[in-house]
Amino acid sequence: MRVRIFLLISALALFFDQITKLSAQRLLVPYQIKPVIGNLVRITLVYNPRGLFGLPIGSGLSYYILPLVGVAIVIYFATRTKSFLYLCSYALILGGAIGNLWDRIRLGKVIDFIDIGVKNIRWYTFNLADMFIVIGIIMLIATEIFHPRPATEKVEEKDTAKDNQTN
């Protein structure tokens, strides 16, 4: 059941990310600004050939290897968690990561189209995959802070750590 929920949330995140990107490509002209909520929220189709926030992160190959490593790490933690909230968080992160990785494999760049800001103070243009990743990370942090793990889970971790130290 947990695997199904994880896969469903990941698949839905990927689906909504890809459908909105395809819609943006079909309906928008690159770099043309379309206000949605005045100047606060705008739709602007851009293509990001670089990494997070358009920043360079090394050679061209690193734009494929780092996301694959990230996907593997998310799957590793998702398969080991007992927390439903953690599972949902990992699923959102995975769906978003695969969405952006799929763009990069298919196009060599990531499709971005959501542009927010006030006047000339703008955030980096982003997409739903980026939102899902950020929401997943915020959920992980909030769950860790506000939803402490059961004492039995903490005791198991301490016992495992002690066993590892004696070996």
* Domain coordinates in residue numbering, the chain: 2-156
Place of tokens 């990001």: 48
pLDDT tens per residue across span 78-128:
999 989 999 999 999 999 999 999 999 999 999 999 999 998 899 999 999
CA distances from 148 to 77, 78, 85 (A): 17, 17, 11
Catalytic residues: 112, 130
Among 68-82, 104-118, 143-157, the range scoring the smallest mean pLDDT is 143-157
